[in-house]
Amino acid sequence: MNTKCAECDGPINVPNDVIVGEIVSCRDCGVEYEVSEIRGGVALLKPAETVEEDWGE
């Protein structure tokens, strides 16, 4: 299924078997989204929380 990027209005390809909580990213602007809900075959996205990993450098 396809959905649209809220940032740049570009198309985002979402796998047909996508699950809630999966992260997808916009190929055009690189923004990451989390699938918040799947309703009627349409994936609703919300901006992904960017977790800063502490690699202990």
Position 45 contacts Zn ion (CB under 5 A): no
CB atoms < 10 A from the CB of 10, how many? 13
Closest by CA position to 21, among listed 36, 31, 32: 36
Position 25 contacts Zn ion (CB under 5 A): no
Cβ atoms of 14 and 24 within 8 Å: the answer is yes
Contacting range for Zn ion; rule: CB under 5 A; set: 9-17, 39-47, 49-57: 9-17
Position 43 contacts Zn ion (CB under 5 A): no
Site residues (vs Zn ion, CB under 5 A): 5, 7-8, 10, 26, 28-29
